[in-house]
């Protein structure tokens, strides 16, 4: 037991790899066994992250469950893991979504072995980003998640998958390049890649780096970090890879892509950009808030304009993640202000909670799109219509999830978006006000989606088809629905943990 507690993070991190290895050793035609091994493997990190959640002390300062071991000593990079309140929440989200996505993937029939193995490796990549306290390891896991996702889209995606996967990969890779160069600069300057050391020394590092004043280098490195994370979030105008990737990816891939992968970018802002570049983040926060506003508005408008159900949901992610970035921008600009500090903390809390909530609702929405696509083989909204009587359970779940996504009070989306807007209002009044219009548009496109799919005259094309959601799929989405309701009614259990971490981070 002590061993498990002492190595909790490593176990969460590497059990998926072990599962992937077991799967590659199984014979190809044992599809059932492969699926169950994958599912059971993902349950271990879930159980362990619940242990992590209960044992985590949100009042204690600093990082907990720290593990450190020599790794690449020649360049002063070590295997250094640890979690704080923000990462614990993200680990929990990842651990919850993984088994659900695997369960939904039971409908995959082609190359099941490779699919499941890649999926588990993707899990390790994501867990790693949320845990690591070393810049090189951070980059390692950041990139490592890219490879499985590339293949999930490229092999199991729909018609235009080659284009979409290539675009996704090159886009992210180009962003990562600046990140890597900036990380190298930090490592060279400070002589170590340790994140805690960098957070302590980098913001105030004075003197020349390569003969250029440190402030200039820091500003350049700030933009390198920001663009890399902005591509991943994605912030307008770096979002164009997302609709393609989401639309072409297999359903479970979209669930993880929207549910967790986008959060990696936002997490990067919170974990690295704010602590490493407080002055630069403050200086450029206005630009970031503007981009966030554009994401909210453009995402909502674009979403409204879609006829492809999956694209509609994909663009809605751009808008919802815009609120996360808005919250981060507010935190950046107002964190050391006497008057606005409380608002900044509120907005940052909202941003983290929104990351969690959007993870739940977007995964749910993509799952539901996948369900209907599996049965009708179309995602075109104009091909649907009046499906409610044909699939009453599905219709109910779709409406419930849509309402959470739309931000209906009493469900989770409302709480976090309210917190962001509430914190942002006094700081960026105009931007927030325009952003509220984006919220209005959210209502419009969500209702458009529901109306086109469920209501109106019954499209006779589907009469007699079995469209109802299966029991396995209900099991896959039920935990998400429950969490949406619980967080909507009683968010305190999450917010208290997030708030403690945010308050400490803001000093």
Contacts to other proteins by CB under 8 A: 70-75, 136, 139-144, 146-147, 150, 154-155, 162, 166, 169-170, 173-174, 177, 180-181, 184-185, 187-188, 208, 210-212
Comparing CB distances to other proteins, the nearer of 207 and 464 is 207
Least Å distance between CB 474 and other proteins?
A: 34
Comparing CB distances to other proteins, the nearer of 184 and 503 is 184
Contact criterion met (CB below 8 Å) for 221 and 293: no
Comparing CB distances to other proteins, the nearer of 75 and 433 is 75
Looking at the DSSP assignment, which residues form a beta bridge with residue 208?
213
At residue 384, φ and ψ (nearest 5 deg) are -90, -155
Any idea which residue has 């469209």 for tokens?
467
Least Å distance between CB 367 and other proteins?
A: 26
For every residue of 359-388, which 3-state class applies, written as one string? HHHHHHHHHHHHHHHHHHCCCEHHHCCCCC
Contact criterion met (CB below 8 Å) for 276 and 198: yes
Least Å distance between CB 17 and other proteins?
A: 10
Comparing CB distances to other proteins, the nearer of 150 and 356 is 150
Comparing CB distances to other proteins, the nearer of 121 and 476 is 121
Task: List the beta strands (DSSP E) in 34-163.
Answer: 64-72, 77-83
**Alpha helix segments (H runs only) across 195-239:** 195-201, 214-232
DSSP 270-305: IIIIHHH-HHHHHHHHHHHHHHHHHHHHHHHHHHHT
Coil/strand/helix, residue 427: coil
Least Å distance between CB 122 and other proteins?
A: 13
Give the residue from 93, 163, 104, 105 showing the smallest Cα distance to 352.
Answer: 93
Least Å distance between CB 303 and other proteins?
A: 29
Least Å distance between CB 152 and other proteins?
A: 13
Comparing CB distances to other proteins, the nearer of 231 and 501 is 231
Comparing CB distances to other proteins, the nearer of 148 and 319 is 148
Least Å distance between CB 74 and other proteins?
A: 4
Least Å distance between CB 111 and other proteins?
A: 9
Comparing CB distances to other proteins, the nearer of 73 and 460 is 73
Rounded Cα distance, 485 and 490, in Å: 8
Least Å distance between CB 139 and other proteins?
A: 6
DSSP 60-73: S-S-EEEEEEEEEG
Least Å distance between CB 211 and other proteins?
A: 3
Which residues are within 8 A (CB) of 475 and not within 5 positions of it... i.e. 6 or more apart? 103
Looking at the DSSP assignment, which residues form a beta bridge with residue 134?
194
Least Å distance between CB 402 and other proteins?
A: 35
Specify the pairing of strand 212-213 against strand 208-209: antiparallel
In degrees, rounded to 5, the angle at the alpha carbon of residue 506 between the alpha carbons of residues 505 and 507 is: 90
Comparing CB distances to other proteins, the nearer of 187 and 423 is 187
- Indicate the DSSP class of residue 308: B
| Displacement of CA 117 from its chain's centroid (Å) | 21
Per-residue tokens: 304: 């409204």
Comparing CB distances to other proteins, the nearer of 184 and 459 is 184
How many CB atoms are closer than 10 A to CB 276?
22
Give the residue from 420, 291, 426, 442 showing the smallest Cα distance to 356.
Answer: 420
Rounded Cα distance, 190 and 203, in Å: 11
Comparing CB distances to other proteins, the nearer of 177 and 436 is 177
Rounded Cα distance, 42 and 479, in Å: 15
Coil/strand/helix, residue 130: helix
In degrees, rounded to 5, the angle at the alpha carbon of residue 38 between the alpha carbons of residues 153 and 99 is: 80
Comparing CB distances to other proteins, the nearer of 209 and 399 is 209
Least Å distance between CB 249 and other proteins?
A: 15
How many CB atoms are closer than 10 A to CB 462?
19
Any idea which residue has 């235009």 for tokens?
160
């Amino acid at each position: 037991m002590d061993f498990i507690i002492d190595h909790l993070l490593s176990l969460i991190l590497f059990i998926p790899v072990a599962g992937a290895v077991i799967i590659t050793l199984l014979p190809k035609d044992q599809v059932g066994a492969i699926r169950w091994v994958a599912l059971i493997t993902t349950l271990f990190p879930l159980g362990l992250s619940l242990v992590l959640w209960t044992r985590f002390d949100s009042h204690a300062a600093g990082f907990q469950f720290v593990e450190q071991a020599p790794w690449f000593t020649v360049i002063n990079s070590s295997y250094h893991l640890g979690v704080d309140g923000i990462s614990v929440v993200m680990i929990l989200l990842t651990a919850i979504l993984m088994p659900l996505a695997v369960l939904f993937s039971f409908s995959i029939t082609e190359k099941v072995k490779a699919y499941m193995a890649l999926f588990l490796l993707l899990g390790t990549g994501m867990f790693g980003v949320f845990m690591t306290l070393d810049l090189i390891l951070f980059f390692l896991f950041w990139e490592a998640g890219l490879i499985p996702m590339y293949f999930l889209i490229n092999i199991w995606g729909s018609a235009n998958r080659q284009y979409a996967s290539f675009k996704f990969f090159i886009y992210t890779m180009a962003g990562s390049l600046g990140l890597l160069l900036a990380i190298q600069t930090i490592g060279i300057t400070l002589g170590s890649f340790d994140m805690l050391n960098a957070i302590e020394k980098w913001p105030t590092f004075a003197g020349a780096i390569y003969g250029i004043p440190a402030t200039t280098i820091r500003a350049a490195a700030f933009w390198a970090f920001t663009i890399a994370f902005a591509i991943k979030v994605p912030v307008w105008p770096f979002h164009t890879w997302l609709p393609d990737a989401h639309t072409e990816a297999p359903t479970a891939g979209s669930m993880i892509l929207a549910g967790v992968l986008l959060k990696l970018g936002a997490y990067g802002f919170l974990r690295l950009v704010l602590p490493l570049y407080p002055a630069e983040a403050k200086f450029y926060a206005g630009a970031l808030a503007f981009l966030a506003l554009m994401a909210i508005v453009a995402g909502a408008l674009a979403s409204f304009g879609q006829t492809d159900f999956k694209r509609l949901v994909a663009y809605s992610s751009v808008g919802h993640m815009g609120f996360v970035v808005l919250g981060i921008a507010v935190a950046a600009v107002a964190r050391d202000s006497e008057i606005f500090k409380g608002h900044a903390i509120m907005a940052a809390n909202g941003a983290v909670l929104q990351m969690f909530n959007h993870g739940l609702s977007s995964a749910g929405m993509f799952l539901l799109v996948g369900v209907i696509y599996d049965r009708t083989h179309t995602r075109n909204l104009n091909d649907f219509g009046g499906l409610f009587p044909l699939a009453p359970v599905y219709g109910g779940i779709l409406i419930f999830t849509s309402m959470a996504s739309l931000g209906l009070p009493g469900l989770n989306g409302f709480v976090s978006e309210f917190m962001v807007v509430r914190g942002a209002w006094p700081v960026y009044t105009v931007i927030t006000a325009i952003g509220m219009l984006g919220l209005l548009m959210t209502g419009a496109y969500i209702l458009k989606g529901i109306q086109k799919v469920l209501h109106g005259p019954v499209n006779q094309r589907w009469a007699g088809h079995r469209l109802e959601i299966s029991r396995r799929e209900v099991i896959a989405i039920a935990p998400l629905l429950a969490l949406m309701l619980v967080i909507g009614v009683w968010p305190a259990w999450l917010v208290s943990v997030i708030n403690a971490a945010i308050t400490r981070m803001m000093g």
